Structure 1
Amino acid sequence: MPPFDPEVGAVLAAAGARAREVLTPEGLAAWQERDRAARPRPTLDRLRDGGRFEVAELAVPRPDGGGDVTLVSARPAGVGGVGGPLPLLYYLHGGGMVTGNAWSVLPRLLRGWALPLGLAVVSVEYRLAPGTRFPGAVEDCYAGLVRVAERAGELGVDADRVVIAGKSAGGGLAAALALLARDRGGPVPVGQLLLSPMLDDRGDTYSSHQMAGHDTWDRASNATAWQAVLGDRYGAADLSPYAAPARATDLSRLPAAYLDVGSAETFRDEVLAYADGIWRAGGEAELHVWSGACHGFDTIAPEAAVARDADEARTRWLRRVLRR
């Protein structure tokens, strides 16, 4: 298998077996409970950080009548207004579609991108599996995107400069959302930022076999999450690309894409194939494969040189795509 980056590998070695704990169907409920305990939801006051940021929650009714989707809207305080509406990062959190929340990802997004780039951020609290199976999560994300576009003026954001983004499961949902918005004639984002995206339910790429038992999120954990999301549709030959974007046969007319992944990562080959599919369809995609990086390398070892390089590349792409 490809060697881990020395700095990333040192962190993994120090973490030992905890770094590669396998998610199983039997252990899913306990995994979710541990995640909730490890990542408590920050309050809105904490997210405001002493007035540095303006933060609010917005409830969006689901089209199926199944309650509301919560959107968490945030921006640097005092930015916008006279200078006009802000570009928007519409963000979908990671967690295998079985864990995570819209609030916990905001501090890093606000410090890393909202402040330096003058962005507004909307983070989506989509429903998680197995409590809600496909298409619940992607429909939540779509309902939120439509409402944000409709209320752009009220929210102080520029509906013509929206980037949909996500990491891991959130990256897969962002790719699915781009397909869904295109096919329904919905809002048109200027870009899609797909960070180690979870794209393929089939788990049969070379890298998924190569990294089994080695990556922090391997094919066994990945299969457990996909089974939770898809239920009895798991493995179906005719599965919708809105569930697993790697199933898409038409990748034309999509927003400009940024994709990145680690060379020592389960998702490596499905991400490469997705970028290639966009290019073959005549689309625009910027692809980065970070040498020696595992899944979640920038969270596990944020001070590693490869993590800093990845952050800089993502920021440069965001700045370019939002200037169009």
Structure 2
Amino acid sequence: MAYEHPNLDPEIRAALERTPMPAFDMSRMTLEELLGHRAQLGAMLAAMPRPDTDVVIEDRRVPGPDGDPDVRVRIYQPPGQGPGRPALYWIHGGGMILGAPEGDDPTMIGFVERLGCVVVSVDYRLAPDHPHPAPVEDCYAGLAWTAKAAGELGIDLTRLAVGGASAGGGLAAATVLLARDRGGPDVAFQFLVCPMLDDRNITPSSHEFTQAVVWDRAANLFGWTALLGDRVGAEDVSPYAAPARAADLAGLPPAFIDVGELEVFRDEDMDYALRLARAGVSTEFHLYPGAFHGFDGMVPDTELSRRARAARLAALKRAFRL
């Protein structure tokens, strides 16, 4: 088990022993079972009490991709009026198959409270019922709306960042590629937290973690197959589905990438950071020793988790010129 990995951070190991993570095996899950789990997760998020905060939270329906339904975005704004605020356009995680903006409420509220920024979080359609390109096109449509609504939301478009975690980090990287290749919106910074970037699953870390605390090789293959079907791993997969496929990374905005040592995404994230730097993109990269996927959210009171959150906040402060 990943709990017994010799490199697992001792404080994280102790936290996991006190509160073990529930097992969640996707390798044999049917679509019906996945949809049922998604519904349970949605009901749990809906039943959660509204956060006690002065941050103003609003849901809106905004134009989706051409010919497709509207996209829901969840907007977080500081109390009071104020023009010229930085903004984070956020894309939630969930392996391309799960998740909703509400699941990131505490993190987004924290960013607004600490940075005085506006956050727009997109509720993109999920695979496999909505395979590629539906998720990334929803993300791009939400970004385009955010840029157009900058005046109404008090956003300074010279300080617009695009970010996400896990699958959301991969979609953030893909959305930034789309923005570059379609001529806008202009993005000042890409903020990629343990991003899911490569459908090929050929790196050493992809093969190493057949068992993991969270999101092992089988889960990753399940998520990519949900997004791409029988095209997963094929030569012609689009970089807007799997950003690691992009041949040219030049001209992209400055980047922040982090990842844990003990996770499937380790090597593809390291490689993407190195390729960005070689392409002339200013890049900050963190590899957290002894950490598993999503560790900072699941064992938040460890020193490594606090360091990770502090580094992310510092990176956004620099990007927002605060």
TM over 0.5: yes
- Correspondence for 1:183: 181
Q: Distance in 2 between matches of 1:222 and 1:150?
A: 35
Native 8 Å contact 2:196 2:265 kept in 1: yes
1:18 shift after superposition: 2.4
Native 8 Å contact 2:258 2:286 kept in 1: yes
Query: Which letter does structure 1 place at the counterpart of 2:45?
Result: R
Query: Which letter does structure 2 place at the counterpart of 1:98?
Result: I
Q: Distance in 2 between matches of 1:167 and 1:317?
A: 15
Native 8 Å contact 1:260 1:271 kept in 2: yes
Q: Distance in 1 between matches of 2:31 and 2:71?
A: 24
Q: How does 1:1-324 map to 2 (within 5 A)?
A: 3-16=7-20, 18-19=22-23, 21-24=24-27, 26-27=29-30, 29-38=32-41, 40-42=44-46, 46-47=50-51, 49=52, 52-78=54-80, 80-81=81-82, 84-111=83-110, 113-323=111-321
1:90-125: per-residue Cα shift (whole Å, max 9, x none)?
A: 0000000100001221222212x1101101110100
Query: Which letter does structure 2 place at the counterpart of 1:244?
Result: A
Query: Which letter does structure 1 place at the counterpart of 2:288?
Result: W
Query: Which letter does structure 1 place at the counterpart of 2:253?
Result: P
Q: Distance in 2 between matches of 1:269 and 1:136?
A: 27
Native 8 Å contact 2:21 2:213 kept in 1: no
1:321 shift after superposition: 1.0
> CA 1:151 to 1:237, structure 2 compared with 1: closer, same or farther past 3 Å?
same
Q: Which moved more, 1:23-32 or 1:275-284?
A: 23-32
> CA 1:13 to 1:77, structure 2 compared with 1: closer, same or farther past 3 Å?
same
> CA 1:16 to 1:307, structure 2 compared with 1: closer, same or farther past 3 Å?
closer
SS of equivalent to 1:89? strand
1:148 shift after superposition: 1.0
Query: Which letter does structure 2 place at the counterpart of 1:18?
Result: P
1:28 shift after superposition: 5.1
Q: Distance in 2 between matches of 1:174 and 1:16?
A: 30
1:15 shift after superposition: 4.8
TM-score, normalised to structure 1, is 0.92
> How many pairs are equivalent?
317
> CA 1:69 to 1:17, structure 2 compared with 1: closer, same or farther past 3 Å?
closer
Native 8 Å contact 1:2 1:264 kept in 2: no
Q: Distance in 1 between matches of 2:231 and 2:286?
A: 32
1:29 shift after superposition: 3.9
Q: Which moved more, 1:8-17 or 1:137-146?
A: 8-17
> CA 1:227 to 1:322, structure 2 compared with 1: closer, same or farther past 3 Å?
same
List alignment gaps of at least 5 residues for structure 1: none
Query: Which letter does structure 2 place at the counterpart of 1:208?
Result: S
1:25 shift after superposition: 5.1
List alignment gaps of at least 5 residues for structure 2: none
Q: Distance in 1 between matches of 2:89 and 2:131?
A: 22
